[in-house]
């Protein structure tokens, strides 16, 4: 195929996107730049624009996940009829399951709803598992961000591995901020939506062990991320563990603020229960900030030999990993060097090129 007409469901994307929305924005910015001959039709909210794409907007803004999900399952087909697409990409786990969507690619980022179902509200988890199971059967091809997610798909949902392609996410090339630190005291940093999978209650517990052992010499803990779901115990944890004056929640921060936070942090703490990729780990490595990360799934796959690995279910293990960063400068230097080497191949341009290979395959009628 020469030029392609690609439709993409970008309803999850906004200017303040994290997670999957960030993936959509970065991937298609790189795709449009790399493959100017292709035409990208992006379905997005009325206030959203993706430079270089033909925008298709619902008649009203979809302001909640429930509204977006309902629209995708009931109304999206009508909008897609305007595109005469060659391939359509659903980058957020599921596609419309009533009827058939021809030449469809979906991205499955992780199988958290199956691996750790307790991290979702009951009804949300049920809906995610149902739609994901149906969607992977209907899709022509599936993109995943790690071998760990590919293995989960074949083990849990019995997907033919030939229908699954691993395409690692990219990492934006950013220079370390050399300006003044954003805070007067040293700090550990945690980044991510406030929800149970991020394991922030155990992180705060672990931090309290370190703080109570080291007193004022212990750096603070800064947590940057918007509230997601089941987040109330996270906000209560600092008081529960008697570290309320040393833990700060920043809510959403923009990319420039986040760069400053990464650049001046003592370490990124990322003891997530489950991740399909773990972008914050790479963003920290990019600016030579040490990483304390879970020894599970994709975080082990990608972070082995680079991150200080910890057992995410054990606050003592997490605290020990944080202590190593403070006490072992030679280990820190070695892992930072390994991290810089590791991330060289993780670019959005490479991800866009690999994604287009999938589009060509599906556009030619291959699964």
Encode pLDDT of 294-343 as tens digits: 999 899 998 888 999 999 999 999 999 999 999 999 999 999 999 988 88
Which pair of structure tokens corresponds to residue 288? Answer: 């030579």
User: Cα separation of 137 and 159, whole Å?
Assistant: 8
User: Cα separation of 284 and 124, whole Å?
Assistant: 31
Average pLDDT, the chain: 93
Q: Which structural domain range is residue 115 located in?
A: 5-170+347-363
Mean pLDDT computed over 15-20: 73
Residue 48 belongs to some domain of the structure: yes
Residue 61 CB coordination number (10 Å): 11
Confidence of residue 191 (pLDDT cuts 50, 70, 90): very high
Residue 179 belongs to some domain of the structure: no
Please tell me the predicted confidence (pLDDT) of residue 333. 96
User: Cα separation of 221 and 325, whole Å?
Assistant: 14
- Do 270 and 208 belong to one domain? yes
Residue 55 reports pLDDT greater than 80: yes
Confidence of residue 36 (pLDDT cuts 50, 70, 90): very high
Please tell me the predicted confidence (pLDDT) of residue 365. 82
- Do 163 and 283 belong to one domain? no
- Do 134 and 196 belong to one domain? no
Residue 178 belongs to some domain of the structure: no
Confidence of residue 16 (pLDDT cuts 50, 70, 90): low
| CATH code of the domain in which 12 resides | 3.40.50.2000
Reading phi first (left if > 0) and then psi (alpha if -120 to 50, else beta), residue 251 is in: left
What is the 8-class DSSP label of residue 221? E
Residue 99 reports pLDDT greater than 90: no
Return all residues near 325 (Cβ < 8 A) that are at least 6 apart.
266, 267, 290, 292, 308, 332
Mean pLDDT computed over 233-240: 98
Return all residues near 313 (Cβ < 8 A) that are at least 6 apart.
202, 273
Mean pLDDT computed over 234-250: 97
Confidence of residue 1 (pLDDT cuts 50, 70, 90): low
- Do 83 and 153 belong to one domain? yes
Alpha carbon distances (Å) from 69 to 44, 127, 139? 13, 10, 17
Kindly provide the b/e burial profile for residues 320-342, where b requires at least 16 CB atoms within 10 angstroms of the residue's own CB. Answer: bbbbbbbeeeeebeebbeebeeb
Number of structural domains, the chain? 2
């Amino acid at each position: 195929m020469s030029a392609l007409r690609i439709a993409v469901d970008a309803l999850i994307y906004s200017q303040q996107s994290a997670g999957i929305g960030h993936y959509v924005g970065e991937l298609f910015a790189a795709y449009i730049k790399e493959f100017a001959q292709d035409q990208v039709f992006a379905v997005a909210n009325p206030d959203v624009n993706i430079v270089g794409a033909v925008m298709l907007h619902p008649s009203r803004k979809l302001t909640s996940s429930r509204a977006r999900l309902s629209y995708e399952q009931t109304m999206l087909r009508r909008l897609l009829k305007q595109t005469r697409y060659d391939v359509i990409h659903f980058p957020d786990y599921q596609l419309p399951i009533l009827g058939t969507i021809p030449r469809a690619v979906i991205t499955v980022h992780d199988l958290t709803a199956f691996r750790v179902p307790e991290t979702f509200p009951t009804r949300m988890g049920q809906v995610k598992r149902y739609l994901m199971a149906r969607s992977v059967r209907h899709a022509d091809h599936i993109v995943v961000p790690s071998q760990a997610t590919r293995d989960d798909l074949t083990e849990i949902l019995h997907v033919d591995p030939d229908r699954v392609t691993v395409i690692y996410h990219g990492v934006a090339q950013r220079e370390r901020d050399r300006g003044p630190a954003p805070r007067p005291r040293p700090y550990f940093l945690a980044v991510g939506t406030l929800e149970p999978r991020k394991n922030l209650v155990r992180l705060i517990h672990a931090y309290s062990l370190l703080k109570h052992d080291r007193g004022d010499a212990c750096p603070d803990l800064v947590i940057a991320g918007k509230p997601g779901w089941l987040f109330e115990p996270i906000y209560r944890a600092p008081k529960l563990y008697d570290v309320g004056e040393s833990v700060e929640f920043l809510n959403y921060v923009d990319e420039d603020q986040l760069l400053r936070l990464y650049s001046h942090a003592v370490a990124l703490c990322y003891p997530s229960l489950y991740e399909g990729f773990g972008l914050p780990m790479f963003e920290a490595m990019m600016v030579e900030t040490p990483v304390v990360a879970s020894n599970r799934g994709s975080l082990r796959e990608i972070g082995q030999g680079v991150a200080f690995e910890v057992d995410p279910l054990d606050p003592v293990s997490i605290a020990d990993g944080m202590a190593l960063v403070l006490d072992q400068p030679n280990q820190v230097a070695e892992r930072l060097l390994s991290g810089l080497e590791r991330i060289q191949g993780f670019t959005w341009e490479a991800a866009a090129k690999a994604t287009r290979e999938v589009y060509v395959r599906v556009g030619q009628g291959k699964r």
